[in-house]
Chains A and B, each alone.
Chain A
Amino acid sequence: MAETKKNIDERFSNFGVVSFTAQTKVNDFVDYLKDGKVMATQCGLCGTVFFPPRADCFRCMDSEMKWREVAGKGKLMCFSQLQFAPVGFENDLPYCIGVLDYAEFKVFGRIDSSIALEELSIGMEMTTEACRLENGQLSYIFKKA
C-alpha cells in the first residue's frame, strides 16, 4: 500500500535556516538537536565516524550505524564572514561560516554571531552546540571553547 502524505517523515525540513531536504534516513538528527545534542553516526562494523551523519557505510557496504555525540573541542580550520547572502538568508547578514576539525571527523557550520570577526583565528578551539533559531528551526552553532 502506498505511503500516505501524513505518514511521510519530514522532520529534516526543520533543520537549518532554510532546509532543502525533507526526508533522510538520519532524521533522528533533528530530534537529537531538539534535545540539545549534535550527533554523528558511527559504523557498527568498522567504527568509522561520519559527520555529517550517514545511514550507510561505504567501507563495509552496511547500514548498521550507531549515534555518537559530537563532544569536546574542535579546531577552526578556515572561516569567512558573508556580507551577501543567498535568497532566504538576507536577514542574518553578516554571518560567519567555518569548518571545525575534531581529528576523527570535521564539522561545517555557522559561527556564533556574538563573536566578532576580529576575534576569529585559524587554530582556535571551539565547540559545536545545538540551538533553536529565531524562525523556530533547529540547527547547531560553533562557540568559543
Chain B
Amino acid sequence: MKKTAIIGVGQSNFVRNYPGSIRELAFDGFKEAVKDAGAEAGDIDASVICSAPEYDKQRSPAAVIAEHLGLNSQPTFYVETLCSSSSTGLKMAHAMVASGLHEVVAVLGFQKMSEISSSESQERMGRGADIQWESPFGTMMPAYYAMHAQAHMDRYGTTPDDLAAVRVKASTYGQINDRAVYRKAITPDMFNDSSNKIANPVSSPLRVGDCCANADGSSCIIVANAEKAKAFSKKPIWILGLGAASASVNMSGRDLFTGLGAAGQAAGRAYAMAGVGPGQIDVAEVHDCFTIAEIMAYENLGFAEPGGGNELIRSKETYKEGSIPVNVDGGLLSKGHPIGATGGSQLRTIVLQLRGEAGEMQVKDPQIGLVHNIGGVGIYGNVTILSNQY
C-alpha cells in the first residue's frame, strides 16, 4: 500500500456554546488546516465529514459543510462511529489516497453539542448504547464507564485517588492549552471536598471531576500521497499504522469490564501495520472521556500490564517529562469532547508534537506518536500511529 501523510491540521477553539451554525463551526477548523498545509480549497480532491448526527438538525451535513468550505464539486460523504468518527474519517482518507483514487483528502470533524440540553445530551449519548435492551433501564455514558471503574477497583485495587490523579494531570495541561474548554486548575483536595462541585457523585464511583466536558468544536486533518505531501509540506507526518476493531454494543456481550477489548485489538492491529511496539511510542493521545478510560487505555495500549495503569499515573510517568507522555494537551477531560471533532483534535496534537510545534506542551524530540480514539463504550476502537520519519 502506498504511503500517506498528514500535511495540514486545524482545530477550532473548544467552547461551551459556539455562537454560530455548524457550517461556520466547521469553517474554523478547516481554515486553519488549509493554511497550515499551504493549500487552497481547490487543492483538495475529496472531503470526509465526520460527526454524530443526533445533535444536528441538518440532515446529511456533509453537503452543506462541503458547500460552505468551497469544496464543490469534489466528492464528499459522511462517516460516523460515535466519538471516534474523525479517526474513522482518517482511515477512509488514507484508503482513498493510498489506493490512488484521490491525491489530497480533507477529514472534517465537528459537533455542536450545545443545541440540546445536558440531560437531552445524556439521553442521546445513552442511545449510542443498545436502545432495545439497555436504554429502557435508564442508561447513560458515565454509568457504563462507572461499571468499568468499579470492576477495575475491585480487581486491581485502583482507588478514587488514582482516578482523581488522571484529572489533575489533565488540568495541568488544560491550563496551558488555549483551545481547551476547561482551563482551570484541579487539585486532589477538590475531590475530597463535598462542597466542591468536582466531588459531586454522577454514577458511582465516578464524580463530576471524573467526567469530560461537553463542548462545541471542529477539527480538520488533510491527508495526501507522498508526492503531494513533499510538495506541500516541509514536515509531513506519515501514517504508519491504522488499527480498528468493534465490540458488542450490549454489555451482556462483553467478557471483560476492566478494559476495552476493541481498544486492545485495534492497538494490536495498528502496531502490526506500523511495525512498532508500545515501547517505541514517544507521545500519545488517549480517549479519556472519563478518568477510568485513561487508566484502561494505558493497559489496552501496552503502556502498562493489565492492572498496572494505576501505578503509571501514581508515578507520573504519563506527564510530559515521564517515560510515556499521555494527553499533554489536557485530553478530553479538560480540552473538551465535541464528539465528531475529538479524533481530529487528538491527531492534530500528535502532529504538532511530531513537528516540534506544540509550544509549552511540547515533549522532547518525539519521533513516533499514537492516537487512541474510542466510539461509545468501547464499541468502536481506533488506534493510529504517526511518525515524522519517512
Contacts and interface: CB of A to CB of B under 8 A. Distances in A.
Given A98-B147, A99-B251, A108-B252, 7 more contacts: A18-B135, A77-B257, A82-B140, A83-B202, A107-B252, A108-B133, A108-B251
Interface stretch (A1-9, A60-68, A88-96): A88-96
A20 B135 contact: yes
A68 to B, nearest CB: 15
B291 to A, nearest CB: 14
Nearest to B150: A78
Nearest to B129: A108
A3 B155 CA distance: 53
A97 B146 CA distance: 10
Contact of B202 (A18, A24, A84): A84
A19 to B, nearest CB: 5
Contacts of A122: 150-151, 154-155
A108 B203 contact: no
A143 to B, nearest CB: 15
Nearest to A106: B252
Interface string B120-158: 101100110011111111111011001111110011000
A86 B254 CA distance: 23
B60 interface: no
A43 to B, nearest CB: 16
Given A86-B123, A97-B143, A106-B253, A20 B151 contact: no
9 contacts: A24-B132, A80-B147, A80-B206, A82-B140, A82-B142, A85-B140, A86-B138, A88-B138, A106-B253
A109 B147 CA distance: 12
Interface of A: 12, 15-21, 24, 51-52, 77-90, 92, 95, 97-99, 105-110, 117, 121-122, 139
Contact of A21 (B132, B149, B202, B251): B132
A109 B135 CA distance: 10
Q: Closest 4 CB pairs between A and B? A: A16-B136, A89-B138, A86-B123, A80-B146
A87 B127 CA distance: 12
A139 B150 contact: no
A34 to B, nearest CB: 16
A99 B204 CA distance: 15
B138 A92 contact: yes
Interface in B295-341: none
B122 A84 contact: yes
A119 to B, nearest CB: 13
Contacts of A51: 252
Query: B132, B136, B140, B202: which has the most chain A beta carbons within 10 Å?
Result: B136
B53 to A, nearest CB: 17
A99 B147 contact: yes
Nearest to B124: A86
A118 to B, nearest CB: 10
Contacts of B21: none
Contacts of A77: 151, 257
Contacts of B146: 80
Contacts of A107: 252
A106 B120 CA distance: 29
Nearest to A86: B123
A112 to B, nearest CB: 13
A117 B123 CA distance: 24
B19 interface: no
A81 B310 CA distance: 23
Interface string B200-213: 11111110000000
A97 B143 CA distance: 8
Nearest to B200: A83
B250 interface: yes
Contacts of A19: 136
A117 B137 contact: no
Given A15-B136, A80-B203, A97 B147 contact: yes
A108 B131 contact: no
Contacts of B154: 121-122
B138 A17 contact: yes
Contacts of B122: 84, 86-87
A21 B253 contact: no
Contacts of B149: 80
Contacts of B203: 80-84
A108 B250 contact: yes
